[in-house]
Structure 1
Amino acid sequence: MARRERAKTAATGGMTLVEVVVSLALLAVVALILVTGFSAAGKLIRRGTDTKNSTDKTISALEMLAGGLSPADEVDSTEEESTLTYILNGAPRSVKGRTITVTDPEDPAISHRVFVPDAPAQ
């Protein structure tokens, strides 16, 4: 009797080849999902870092141009005469100056603009 129970236990104690193949297939699907997720997250982080670096570069160049210096980084900049008009206490006021626009040539979507007055408002 004991011999029969031992033989029965030994026969049902392991996994079949089909069970092993199915479990490996499920493991492969889960691994694929994880790799895809981490890859997408890495691309988003890299794109965010590139945008931040581009923004920092254009803002730095814009501040240097507004201060009359030449920018340290390679950027595209335009400068044009302009007038800023605003209303203060019901009276319109105008200030003449220049508008400086700076764009990063590596990422043209990043562009910043500043108005620099010629003299203080009257």
Structure 2
Amino acid sequence: MKTRVAKFGIGQVVKHRIYPFRGVIYDVDPVFANTEEWWRQIPAEVRPSKDQPFYHLFAENAETQYVAYVSEQNLLPDESGEPVRANPQIDEMFVRGDDGAYRMRMAHRSS
């Protein structure tokens, strides 16, 4: 499998290309790193390839907040400038700057 460089970064707000949700990226896997069962549950006609970055998101839609695992091919930058709804996990890991960008809190940065 060929590994690609991630297009999006930690703290970036992204939205799903097809489904109506958006979120803050909190981790990136260079290639698929979930279970085979999870991957096979995606309908074959829209199942993403495994040889691309996959992103862990603190996600939200109109009804709820949750954690999502999304392939790079299904993400777009969210350029709305709107904050992601208040979420204890986001608040614990990130601070939102005056420019609207989410930055890792010092306690969560690796050495």
TM-score, normalising length: structure 2: 0.24
Pick the structure with greater CA Rg: 1
Q: Per residue, is there more helix in 1 or in 2? A: 1
Q: Which fold has the larger relative contact order, with Cα–Cα distance below 8 Å and residues 6 or more apart in sequence?
A: 2
